[in-house]
Amino acid sequence: MKLFTRTLILCLALALTNAAPSQPPDLAAEVAALPDRCAGIEFDAITPDEQGNTFFFKGGHLWKGFHGPAQPSNEIFKKLHDIHPLGHVDAAFRMHNAENPDDHDHIYFFVDDKVVRFYDQSLEDGYPKEMTEDFPGVPTHLDAAVECPKTECMTNTVLFFKGQDVYFYDLATKTVKTKTWSHLPQCTSAFRWLEHYYCFHGHNFTRFHPVSGEVTGNYPKDARNYFMKCPNFGHGGDHTVPKCSEVKLDAISTDDTGKTYFFAGSTYMRLDTSRDGLHGFPITRSWKELTNGVDAVFSYIDKIYLMKDDKVYIYKADAHYSLIEGYPKSLKEELGIEGHVDAAFLCPNEHTVHIIQGGRMRDVDLTATPRAITNDVPLPPHLSDIDAGLCGPDGVKVFKGSQFYLYESPKILATGRIIVEPQKITSAMMGCQD
């Protein structure tokens, strides 16, 4: 049975009483009773919903997203408190089972020996159920649960945690395999975020591999530095969102799954178009060999090409961005070009990468062997010193400082002599401050 504690914010109650003496005492007490995750608490469960909003649960309360105050969980997930008088949950996860649309993206909550299912924040008919009805072979009174799609666990799987034991539930066969991960702390909640897996314990977390349970890196780490905004912690008081007018990209690309990557200095930001939002990381978190940033990047057939100086690094565009054996190689050997690359872009469903070097755009046919420049044209004078380029359904964007120029196609970009008006990078594009 996991620990259940409630943190009282006495100082907040006192401040409310002193600042607003006419405020009803019951309201002040209600605010004071809200748990504060920045005080260092242990979560009962963590799960995203079908829109990508992440919910952190503690007792009868939850937090929506990575910042903001707690609120009663019954306000969002109505009737959840009816399952248990204390309103707490043992575990929760968002189902990932695209092969079964009736289950996919639904949220499952586990309370003692019962399971309930929500979709669009509404309790579904027929629930609660006994756990054995939906998940035969999985023990009751769980500690944590997390989904694992087949691209990361070989089959669509749910990982259930109880003590040091992990129960792998295969969604297709409805069979269970059990492993004991004694090296992993006892997880009170588990969370899959951006293809990585996290075991939360106390106010800390440990990242693990979902198949082997392997832990690599320096763990545990304090969750307040990474998964929430707290004063004097990581994303809290010391973190500032850059102004859009100060943004300067080194590279930008969108992969085959719709994820867009923005590179600037030693960091990159990833935007998932469907959900999960915009997040920033050190480049070495995903591409550990690139310790000094990148000059240009493009995506092609499930691979990401990252260029730095006179070399190109090619990674598989999978969950772990593994470097392909034999790389890096020289730009000359791989693409038939020499010299510093300012920008590169590849249009959807095409096989020609457009590489900008100084005042020229050079095209390389990626289907040719060996690869060589097939077209070399000068760019309009106002497009010198380009920082990055991106081609998408709306045309070609070439970025220069905090502005970009939009062209209908690479051909118009290369041959057009009419100066288009630059547009400003906005918060909708990059999450910066307008």
Q: Does the annotation place 183 within a ligand binding site?
A: no
Contacts 24+ apart (CB under 8 A), 270-277: 270/194, 271/430, 271/431, 272/52, 272/194, 274/52, 275/48, 275/51, 275/52, 276/48, 276/52, 276/193, 276/194, 277/52
Fill in the amino acid letter for 91. Answer: A
Per-residue tokens: 404: 């970009």
Burial 405-428 (b: 16+ CB within 10 A, else e): bebeebeebbebeeeeeeeebeee
User: How would you class 18 by CB atoms within 10 Å of its CB: exposed for 0-12, middle for 13-18, buried for 19 or more?
Assistant: exposed
Residue 67's contacts (CB-CB under 8 Å, 6 or more residues apart) are: 228, 229
Q: Does the annotation place 203 within a ligand binding site?
A: no
The string of DSSP letters for 314-344 reads EEE-STT-PBPTT--EEHHHHHS--S---EE
Fill in the amino acid letter for 433. Answer: Q
Question: What distance in Å separates the CA atoms of residue 185 and residue 181, rounded to the nearest whole number?
Answer: 8
Cβ atoms < 10 Å from Cβ of 266: 14
For β-strands 395-400 and 303-308, DSSP reports them as unpaired
The string of DSSP letters for 201-249 reads ETTEEEEE-TTT----SS--EEGGGTSS--TTSTTSTT--PPBGGG---
Distance of CA 364 to the CA centre of its chain: 32
For the chain, the C-alpha Rg in angstroms (whole number) is 25
Number of continuous H segments (helices) and E segments (strands) in the chain: 8, 33
Asked if 248 contacts 284 with a C-beta cutoff of 8 angstroms, the reply is no
Kind and range of the H or E run holding 111: strand 107-111
**Beta bridge partners of residue 193, listed in sequence order:** 196
| Sequence ranges of the binding site | 235, 279
| Sequence ranges of the binding site for heme | 235, 279
